[in-house]
Amino acid sequence: MVETLIQNLGEIYSNNIYIKRDDLIPISFGGNKARKAINFFQEIDEGAYDCVVTYGTSSSNHCRIVSSMAAMRKISCYIIGPKEASKPTFNSKMMNWLGAEITIVPVETVHNTIENKLEQLREQGRNPYFIAGGGHGNLGTQAYVDCYEEIRVFEKQNRIHFDYIFSASGTGTTQAGLVCGQLIHGDNRRIVGISIARKNPRGRQVVFNSVKEYLIEKNYTYDDEKIEKTIVFDDKYIGRGYGQNNIEIEQTIKDVLINHGIPLDSTYTGKAYAGMRAYLNKQGIRGKNILFIHTGGTPLFFDDLENIKI
C-alpha cells in the first residue's frame, strides 16, 4: 500500500479544503495511474511475463507510468494509441525516452491492433501482459479501495470527517474504488467524480459497472439501487471535451500554483479542481470538510505552460 500526504489548503466558500497528494507517489511523477500500476506490476513480477501491452493517448499518464515501470524491469512495453489524440506531449516524449514502442492507428482499429499485437508476441514465444487503457479493471479499482482505507486512517488519527471527496473521473476506476470503500464501510459522505471527458449516462454507467464488478469479485452484495444512489458523476464541467482548456480551468491552475505551490493540469486535475469549486458554489455547500484527490499529471502541467497566457 502506498500512503500519500494529506494537506490543508485553507477555505473555499467557507469549506475546509484538504488535498491528498497522490501526485507525490515516487514513480515517474506519480499519480493515480502509478497507484494502480503498482498492482498490475506485482502480477507481472509474480508471473513469467516478459513484456506489457497497453492503450492510451499521447497525453496518457497511464502510458507514461507503464512505460516507466516496464523500463525499470527491463521488459518491453508496447503502446497502442489513437491517431486522433497523438500530438506530441511531455508524456509522449517520456514514453519514447523510456523505450516504449508506440503504434498509432485510427481509433476504430485500436481493438484489432491490440489483439493482433498480443497474438504476434505470443507467436514469437513471448508472454505479454495486457493492461486496459487507464488501468481499468478490478486491480485498478482495488488501488483506490486501498486509498480509501488510507483516508479513513487519516480521519481517525486527526479526528476529522470528510463530508465530500472529489476526484477527476475518466476511465472510472479511481472513483469506483473510492465508492466501493464507502459502501463496504457504510460511511456517511458524498464521493463526487468530476468528469474530464465522458457525458452521462455513459460515464456514470462505466463507474457503476466497475463498482459492481469489484463487489461481485470480492463477494459483497449490494442492490443496484444502493450503488446508484452512492455514485455522483458530474459531467457539467467537461467544457469542449477531453484535454480541452477554458478560462476557468486556466485561472484555477494559476491560483493553486500561486497560493499553494501545487501544479495541476487542464486535462485532469485542473478541470476537476475547477469543477469542485463550481460544484461547492452551485450546490450551496458551506461549513464542510472537503478532500480533493490529486491524481497526478505533472508532465501535462508543463504542456499547459506553453499554452496558458501569463
Query: Residue 206, SS3?
Result: helix
Hey, what amino acid is at 169?
S
Q: Are strands 190-195 and 15-21 parallel, antiparallel or unpaired?
A: unpaired
What is the model's pLDDT at position 168?
Answer: 97
d(CA 299, CA 136): 21
Residues that are catalytic: 60
- Start-to-end CA distance of the chain, whole Å, equals 39
What is the model's pLDDT at position 307?
Answer: 75
Residue 234 near residue 267 (C-beta atoms within 8 A): no
Hey, what amino acid is at 218?
K
What is the model's pLDDT at position 305?
Answer: 85
CA-nearest of 25, 29, 19, 59 to 39 is: 25
Q: What is the pLDDT of residues 47-82, one digit of tens each?
A: 989 999 999 999 999 999 999 999 999 999 999 999
Domains, the chain, in order of start with CATH, read 6-29+137-305 (3.40.50.1100), 33-135 (3.40.50.1100)
The residue assigned the cell 493553486 is: 256
CA-nearest of 125, 204, 142, 227 to 178 is: 142
The residues of the chain scoring below 70 in pLDDT are: 1, 241, 243, 309-310
Q: What is the pLDDT of residues 264-298, one digit of tens each?
A: 999 999 999 999 999 999 999 999 999 999 999 99
User: CB neighbours (10 Å) of residue 96?
Assistant: 13
What is the model's pLDDT at position 243?
Answer: 62
CA-nearest of 258, 259, 256, 250 to 294 is: 256
Hey, what amino acid is at 195?
S
What is the model's pLDDT at position 183?
Answer: 98
What is the model's pLDDT at position 1?
Answer: 64
What separation in angstroms does the CA of 159 have from each of 20, 97, 166, 228? 16, 45, 20, 29
Which alpha helices (H) appear in the chain, and where do they start and end? 32-46, 61-73, 90-97, 110-123, 138-158, 173-185, 202-217, 224-230, 247-260, 269-282, 298-305
User: CB neighbours (10 Å) of residue 41?
Assistant: 22
What is the model's pLDDT at position 310?
Answer: 60
d(CA 277, CA 192): 12
